[in-house]
Amino acid sequence: MAITEQEVTRIARLARLTLSAEQRAQAQDDLSKILGLIQELQAVDTSAVEPLAHPLSALKDVHLRLRDDVVTETSSLERRAALMANAPGTAEGLFLVPKVIE
């Protein structure tokens, strides 16, 4: 799958990257190769392949070591106030952050 120079320019702008003409050409070639590889992978029939929980589970029996999900700290207004003191801006117990959506 080929990617156009306009698409590379748009992706670079979205990523806030400044690319020279040479870098745009290289990125266009690299992205086209990546998309081609993805197309090849999508063409492979995996209907008879069982999903793996871990990459090594195809070779040996793997037991995932998961810890119990338990509360380790108790919540308190003092603890919350101490954590909120580090925030540049707060309102009603919530962090205030700048708008990032254009």
pLDDT tens column, 31-80: 999 999 999 999 999 898 888 777 877 788 877 778 888 888 878 888 88
Q: Which residues contact 62 (CB under 8 A, 6 or more apart)?
A: 53, 54, 56
Instruction: Give the model's confidence band at 5: pLDDT under 50 very low, under 70 low, under 90 confident, else very high.
Output: very high
pLDDT (average), residues 7-34: 95
Provide the phi-psi class of 16: left if phi over 0, else alpha when psi is between -120 and 50, else beta. Answer: left
Specify the pTM: 0.50
Domain ranges of the chain: 5-43
What pLDDT sits at residue 67? 84
